[in-house]
């Protein structure tokens, strides 16, 4: 295994981001519980909205459509990923 401080830096940053995202989710949930409307802080404003979002179930599309139709509506994009995990101590 190659070791590099850059990897540790990335791991620490990912951990901090996860903690911040957790805090943001809790704050958003508290705002949602207040209900739909606009809310103002000292420096920012927030608006709680409620709407329906349509989605398509890809597994169901593959099940009920033929292979040609699935291929026509499927977009494949290349993905580069970096996976960082804490080293077991």
C-alpha closest to that of 6 among 84, 80, 81, 79: 84
The mean pLDDT value of the chain amounts to: 91
pTM score, two decimals? Answer: 0.70
C-alpha 72/C-alpha 20 separation (Å) is 40
Q: What is the pLDDT of residue 22?
A: 98
Q: What is the pLDDT of residue 85?
A: 81
Q: 82 near 11, Cβ under 8 Å?
A: no
C-alpha closest to that of 28 among 13, 14, 47: 47
6-39 per-position pLDDT tens digit: 999 899 999 999 999 999 999 999 999 999 999 9
C-alpha 70/C-alpha 6 separation (Å) is 41
Q: What is the pLDDT of residue 3?
A: 62
| Coarse DSSP helix, strand, coil percentages of the chain, rounded to the nearest 5 percent | 50, 10, 40
């Amino acid at each position: 295994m190659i070791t590099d401080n850059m990897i540790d830096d990335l791991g620490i940053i990912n951990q901090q981001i996860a903690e911040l995202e957790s805090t943001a989710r809790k704050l958003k949930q508290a705002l949602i519980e207040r209900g739909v409307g606009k809310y103002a802080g000292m420096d920012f404003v927030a608006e709680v909205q409620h709407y329906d979002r349509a989605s398509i179930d890809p597994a169901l599309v593959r099940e009920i459509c033929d292979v040609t139709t699935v291929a026509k509506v499927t977009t494949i994009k290349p993905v580069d990923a970096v996976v960082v995990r804490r080293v077991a101590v």
